[in-house]
Amino acid sequence: MFNRQEAKSRAKVSMRANYWKTVLVAFVLFAIIGSGAATFNSSASTGIGNYEAKYDVEFEDENPSKLEVFIDSLGRGLFFALFFAILSVLVFGSLFAFALDIFVFNPLEVGCRKFMLDNTEVPAGLMNLLYGFDHDYMRNVKAIFRRDLYLFLWSLLFIIPGIVKHYSYLCVPYLIIEHPEMNGKQAIEESRRMMNGHKMEAFILDLSFILWLIASALTLGIVGVLYVNPYMAGAHAEFYKQIKIEG
């Protein structure tokens, strides 16, 4: 059975033994988690047809000069050019952010989890951050992307299913670190099996940090960066190690 007090106690010990590196890695990890998948669903609806019809009637009624018609057409042309320029920036910006999330942040998350996992035994080095890039890069990219995609789809079914599946897939990064033979689908299936009967324990573990999270919010995130984030990340690694032993 998972021992929450032991996991948190061990997490504090390992954090203090390698404090500044743990703080840095946890900062990167929680920044990645907070960024999520950069997806934009932008839709703009305009009444251009009505706009044109209105002014066509007014031009006919007022019988404007050719110069006035030319200036008005030029103004509308500049407006549409500016509109499509802004739209293009948003679209390409969204695609860039999406690619950055998949091809950089996903393997970087694996590296952060690798650091936290190793740090439970001995003070880990920052080179662990590159683990996801130089060990089966595309497998790491695809595995974390599959997990995030599943979580996104489950979250469309309202909040509760998304939270449940978040805990179901909690072990995925650790599994692809410790089992090079696993692909993303296998890691998700194994994580679901391992978390069967442990999802509530993981939820209570996170809930036990609630006062620290409030303190972090009241200090504009300072307590979170310097204490809560590395503490929680270490506790999650300890959680995985405990339930792994149970099989």
Tell me the per-residue pLDDT of 195-222, one tens digit each, with 9 for 90 and over: 999 999 999 999 999 999 999 999 999 9
Instruction: Please report the pLDDT score of residue 152 as a whole number.
Output: 92
List, in order, residues 6 or more apart from 98 with CB less than 8 Å away.
37, 38, 39
Return the DSSP state at 189: H
Closest of 120, 107, 118, 222 to residue 176, by C-alpha: 107
Percent of the chain topping pLDDT 70: 83
**pLDDT, averaged across the chain:** 87
Q: How far apart are CA 133 and CA 217, in angstroms?
A: 33
* 3-class secondary structure, 201: helix
pLDDT, tens digit, 9 for 90 and up, residues 14-67: 999 999 999 999 999 999 988 764 433 333 333 434 444 444 444 444 555 656
Return the DSSP state at 102: I
Which of the four pLDDT bands, split at 50, 70 and 90, describes residue 239? very high
Please compute, for residue 140, the number of CA atoms within 13 A of its CA located in the half-sphere on the CB side: 26
**In the numeric block, which tokens belong to residue 89?**
């920036």
pLDDT, tens digit, 9 for 90 and up, residues 81-132: 787 889 889 999 889 999 999 999 999 999 999 999 999 999 999 999 999 9
Q: Are the beta carbons of 172 and 188 closer than 8 angstroms?
A: yes
